[in-house]
């Protein structure tokens, strides 16, 4: 009996020792889940508790990185049932309502960053869990993006921000933060279609234009015409809560043009960095950047050799959905770069 008892104790101890402690990203993901996840949807706590395709894509990316397949599948099921349109793209916004289903979608136009994020998450999931169904679902979305949202305009291959509302006579409105360069590289590798490398290259060409204007920062929204890029009369002429993702997307790819980072690195050298700045007038916001924006800057500075150590990616309770998402995106970008060698 004593022998049996000792065997049970030994087995219990060995089983406990064999379990790996959770990695840092998984710990941060659990914190994120506790604050922003509910029944398969990511909740934007800074915007009336809505959910949108961007947030679902972020959640799916994070779930794959954390190895959390049950939550990944729950996120994907909710996204398919609630947001996915017949053409394979996704309605961009779900505002909670009594029906708690597809009827709560109050704008069925898509947002191309959300479409791309979801496709990219599915592709990464197919690789992480050797799942061909995820791969086929990713391809459906990728082909829909290519068919409906990629255009040849004014000497550039461009990505429309959405299917409706952005093409006007003699000009097209762009959001360069929707151009996820590392995703484009993976789509190119998957499909073998050069359109993705063209889109990546021309995104960098457009950012080179913004880098040569004024403070060099890209605004959240821009018009492209025969005359080039302009923020005037766009949805927003501010470098702010959209464009803050651009330097992150630049350093996330394998080969970064360091000259494109220069305006952002200069902007971050201020003693007090504002959350936004008007790229036309130079007028800054009277409130500071978020913790998520700061972590993006610290990661870019680290990748650019201006800092000896990467930032801390721990989430605090004060951060809203978007700030917390920027922190986990930055951590994921660093993880990817280390895996690439």
DSSP for 250-284 reads HHHSSS--HHHHHHHHHHTTSSS-BS-EETTT-PB
Q: In whole angstroms, give the CA distance from residue 124 to residue 330.
A: 17
Q: What pLDDT sits at residue 21?
A: 66
Q: Measured between alpha carbons, how far is residue 83 from residues 89, 93, 100, 107 in Å? A: 8, 8, 12, 10
What angle (nearest 5°) sits at the alpha carbon of residue 233, between those of residues 227 and 236? 115
| Residue 313: how many other CB atoms lie within 10 Å | 20
Angstrom distance (rounded) from CA 29 to CA 40: 14
Q: What span, in angstroms and rounded, lies between the C-alpha atoms of 135 and 279?
A: 40
> Would you say 245 and 286 are in contact if contact means Cβ atoms under 8 Å apart?
no
* H-helix or E-strand spanning residue 132: helix 132-149
Q: CB-based contacts of 177: which residues, under 8 Å, 6+ apart?
A: 113, 218, 220, 242, 243, 244, 245, 246, 249
CB neighbour list of residue 28: distance below 8 Å, 6 or more residues apart: 313, 314, 315, 327, 328, 331
How far apart CA 231 and CA 234 sit, in angstroms, is: 5
Residue tagged active-site, from 44, 68, 113, 298? 113
| pLDDT for 130 | 98
Fold of 25-152: Glycosyltransferase (1.50.10)
- How is the chain split into domains, by residue range? 25-152
Whether the CB-CB separation of 191 and 135 falls below 8 Å is answered with: no
The pLDDT of residue 15 is 46
Whole-model pTM over 0.75:
yes
Do 291 and 281 meet the contact criterion of CB atoms below 8 Å apart? no
Catalytic residue flag (residue 163) = no
As a whole number of angstroms, the distance between CA 332 and CA 32 comes to: 14
263 contacts 295 by C-beta, under 8 angstroms:
no
pLDDT (tens place) for every residue of the chain, 341 residues total: 445 444 544 444 444 444 556 799 999 999 999 999 999 999 999 999 999 999 999 999 999 999 999 999 999 999 999 999 999 999 999 999 999 999 999 999 999 999 999 999 999 999 999 999 999 999 999 999 999 999 999 999 999 999 999 999 999 999 999 999 999 999 999 999 999 999 999 999 999 999 988 889 999 999 999 999 999 999 999 999 999 999 999 999 988 899 999 999 999 999 999 999 999 999 999 999 999 999 999 999 999 999 999 999 999 888 899 999 999 999 999 999 988 76
Which one of the listed residues 23, 30, 44, 54 is annotated catalytic?
54
Catalytic residue list contains 54: yes
């Amino acid at each position: 009996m004593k022998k049996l008892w000792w065997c049970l104790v030994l087995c219990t101890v060995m089983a406990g020792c064999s379990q790996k402690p959770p990695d840092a990203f998984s710990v941060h993901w659990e914190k994120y889940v506790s604050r922003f996840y509910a029944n398969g949807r990511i909740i934007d706590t800074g915007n009336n508790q809505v959910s949108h395709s961007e947030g679902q894509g972020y959640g799916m990316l994070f779930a794959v990185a954390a190895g959390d397949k049950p939550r990944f599948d729950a996120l994907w099921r909710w996204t398919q049932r609630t947001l996915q349109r017949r053409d394979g793209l996704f309605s961009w916004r779900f505002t909670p309502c009594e029906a708690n289903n597809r009827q709560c979608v109050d704008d069925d136009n898509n947002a191309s960053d959300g479409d791309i994020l979801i496709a990219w998450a599915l592709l990464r999931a197919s690789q992480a869990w050797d799942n061909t169904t995820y791969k086929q679902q990713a391809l459906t979305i990728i082909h829909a993006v290519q068919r409906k949202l990629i255009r040849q305009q004014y000497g550039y291959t461009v990505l429309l921000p959405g299917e409706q509302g952005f093409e006007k006579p003699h000009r097209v409105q762009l959001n360069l933060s929707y151009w996820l360069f590392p995703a484009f590289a993976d789509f190119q590798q998957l499909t073998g279609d050069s359109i993705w490398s063209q889109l990546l290259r021309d995104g960098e060409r457009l950012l080179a234009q913004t880098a040569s204007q004024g403070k060099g920062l890209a605004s959240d929204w821009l018009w492209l015409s025969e005359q080039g890029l302009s923020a005037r009369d766009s949805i927003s002429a501010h470098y702010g809560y959209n464009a803050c993702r651009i330097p992150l997307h630049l350093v996330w790819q394998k080969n970064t043009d360091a000259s494109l980072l220069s305006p952002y690195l200069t902007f971050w050298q201020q003693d007090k960095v504002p959350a936004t700045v008007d790229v036309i007038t130079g007028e800054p916001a009277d409130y500071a950047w978020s913790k998520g924006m700061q972590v993006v800057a610290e990661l870019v500075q680290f990748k650019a050799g201006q800092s000896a150590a990467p930032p801390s990616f721990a989430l605090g309770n004060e951060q809203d959905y978007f700030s917390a998402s920027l922190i986990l995106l930055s951590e994921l970008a660093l993880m990817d770069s280390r895996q690439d060698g």
